[in-house]
Structure 1
């Protein structure tokens, strides 16, 4: 390690020691778990110290949403540990911090068991907090325009990237893989529009849209299974009201990056959510489809390749792109399974 790197680490450790000293943890044992999470040894056991850079308004929303979730009896919430009296957050060295009790996961935890337990927590919280709100015509029109504009911009981006690839005299393996996937990406945009239209028709007919209390960014990395088998989510900073499909799309996209697809996966996932969650309709599946099948992560990745081709070796770029395309195909199969199930139920 260079002298510059050692100096930077030394400054970070010194700053963190000062932060802990200011709140009564002088000379405490601590270690970095990630860029923004520190494990601190408290007299009653370890606690998690989290660094969070957000505006005062965003911090207030976070605390308000946590208070609401606790009053509503929602599951999987790790309560904040007050510091300096009753204050759940504090500022130090231009950063905001908060404490949570530390939850140690057993070393042997089945990934399948973990994902289903976390999904059950999401479903239960959605059911507890489910509600509806009226959609004004002007608001609804503005929202549809925003969605359509976003998709139009993404398709322009896709076409630009394809044009750049085709201008190469000799196609690289990455460029060839991207162009081979182009028809599939186009079909995903068509599927997204079809799903959104299915959901939009129901909203317009009823004049209301449903929402629930959502985690905002539910992933396996933000989920924990304690030694007693209970499931928890961390990182509730982006929680708040939203359609159930936003949480599910995020959760399923994360799962798609972690394992190969198997037909039974979809059945277990959907059945788990429906067993613990609120009622589900074809319109909800339509919105889930619109949210899950976006090629945007692939387009952003291809754009990075075009701007910084030497960040990775060519074979690494190509392997990562192929994996991202495979993940999107997995998600499409998940949606297709659900649509076939709904069609069969409708026809019976």
Structure 2
């Protein structure tokens, strides 16, 4: 704990009590107040953008970005033996788990994206080529999955995992068909409007990095970047639908809290659906099972496969909503 003591001293007080919460998080008390000390994974290359997050939060009044304390020499971090530490207020770590809390999280993400949003024009030709190549790859997905199903069906007794893949197959066919259509729509929308939005993105947005006590606070901006908002939305939606109880219908009902603050244009909607419909992770899980190199038990592999399938179901459900002119950010969904 010597390094922790050195880091805390950079903030001008001696810890009265220190509790190690995890390998990178410490709860520190001076006898009156509690603080969270984070042993970060920041590097010399990433620390400057991390600092920029907090300068932006101050300048733009992004109150849902949990602030960091200044050291005695007015720095945002304490550098001790080659490691960057930073200190924040200690907040109860209630992850958002009900609809109202998730709605608040969408609202918070939307505000950060909207207040830091900028646009630029990108060469449409290069984007067209990249997504045309991806579309060709998508067309091979169905053959790959069909080969897996044929292989499993040759077994006299299928394992639970193999049976799960065969049961999912008819849905995956629809997913891949819809993915191909969304890529085509994205290319068409891009050729009509090459303006590209980018904003401050968290880079690893999930409920573990959101404290929902009275109001949401987003923590751990160590992987922050300036990118299209779809990067954050995809990460959060995948996490929610894989590991929590929100259904596609729940997500559609809650999403207007985001889109009322930072509306997505047509090509961003198609890009979001492309990310959600991408079966790459699902296929990787099957390949890991076949090669027997996943390192997980049968039950664990089944759970991971089901989680990946839930993500694809979300993409398929939202695609159908858009086709029916009932997009998840439709005005018919009232924001509370």
**Superposition pairs of residues 110-259 of structure 1, within 5 angstroms:** 111-137=98-124, 139-141=126-128, 143-144=130-131, 147=134, 165=152, 170-226=157-213, 229-256=214-241, 257-259=243-245
Alignment check: 8 A CA contact 1:215 1:247 kept: yes
Q: Tell me, in whole angstroms, the C-alpha distance in 2 between the residues paired with 1:313 and 1:33.
A: 28
Q: Tell me, in whole angstroms, the C-alpha distance in 2 between the residues paired with 1:26 and 1:163.
A: 65
TM-score w.r.t. the length of structure 1 is 0.78
Alignment counterpart, residue 273 of structure 1, candidates 245, 253, 258: 258
TM-superposed CA distance for 1:174, in Å, is 0.9
**Superposition pairs of residues 1-348 of structure 1, within 5 angstroms:** 16=4, 20=8, 28-105=16-93, 111-137=98-124, 139-141=126-128, 143-144=130-131, 147=134, 165=152, 170-226=157-213, 229-256=214-241, 257-261=243-247, 263=249, 265-275=250-260, 277-308=261-292, 311-342=295-326
Q: In 2 relative to 1, CA 53–143 (structure 1 residues): closer, same or farther, beyond 3 Å?
A: farther
Q: Tell me, in whole angstroms, the C-alpha distance in 2 between the residues paired with 1:164 and 1:84.
A: 64
TM-superposed CA distance for 1:131, in Å, is 2.6
TM-superposed CA distance for 1:310, in Å, is 8.4
Q: In 2 relative to 1, CA 200–35 (structure 1 residues): closer, same or farther, beyond 3 Å?
A: farther
TM-superposed CA distance for 1:251, in Å, is 1.8
Give per-residue Cα distances to partners, 1:45-98, cap 9 Å, x unaligned.
122122222431112122123322432233411122122411222333443322
Alignment check: 8 A CA contact 1:211 1:244 kept: yes
TM-score w.r.t. the length of structure 2 is 0.80
Find the counterpart in structure 2 of residue 4 from structure 1.
none
Q: Tell me, in whole angstroms, the C-alpha distance in 2 between the residues paired with 1:95 and 1:154.
A: 43
Alignment check: 8 A CA contact 1:195 1:288 kept: no
Find the counterpart in structure 2 of residue 3 from structure 1.
none
Q: Tell me, in whole angstroms, the C-alpha distance in 2 between the residues paired with 1:27 and 1:44.
A: 11
Q: Tell me, in whole angstroms, the C-alpha distance in 2 between the residues paired with 1:280 and 1:309.
A: 40
TM-superposed CA distance for 1:300, in Å, is 3.3
More off after superposition, 303-312 vs 333-342:
303-312
Q: In 2 relative to 1, CA 29–193 (structure 1 residues): closer, same or farther, beyond 3 Å?
A: farther
- Structure 2: gaps of 5 or more residues: 331-336
TM-superposed CA distance for 1:285, in Å, is 1.8
- Three-state SS of the structure 2 residue aligned to 1:38 is strand
- Structure 1: gaps of 5 or more residues: 1-12
Give me the CA root mean square deviation: 3.6
Q: Tell me, in whole angstroms, the C-alpha distance in 1 between the residues paired with 2:25 and 2:142.
A: 37
- Three-state SS of the structure 2 residue aligned to 1:104 is coil
TM-superposed CA distance for 1:258, in Å, is 0.1
Alignment check: 8 A CA contact 2:16 2:31 kept: no
Give per-residue Cα distances to partners, 1:129-155, cap 9 Å, x unaligned.
333201124643564367558758977
- Give the total of aligned pairs: 329
Q: In 2 relative to 1, CA 272–198 (structure 1 residues): closer, same or farther, beyond 3 Å?
A: same
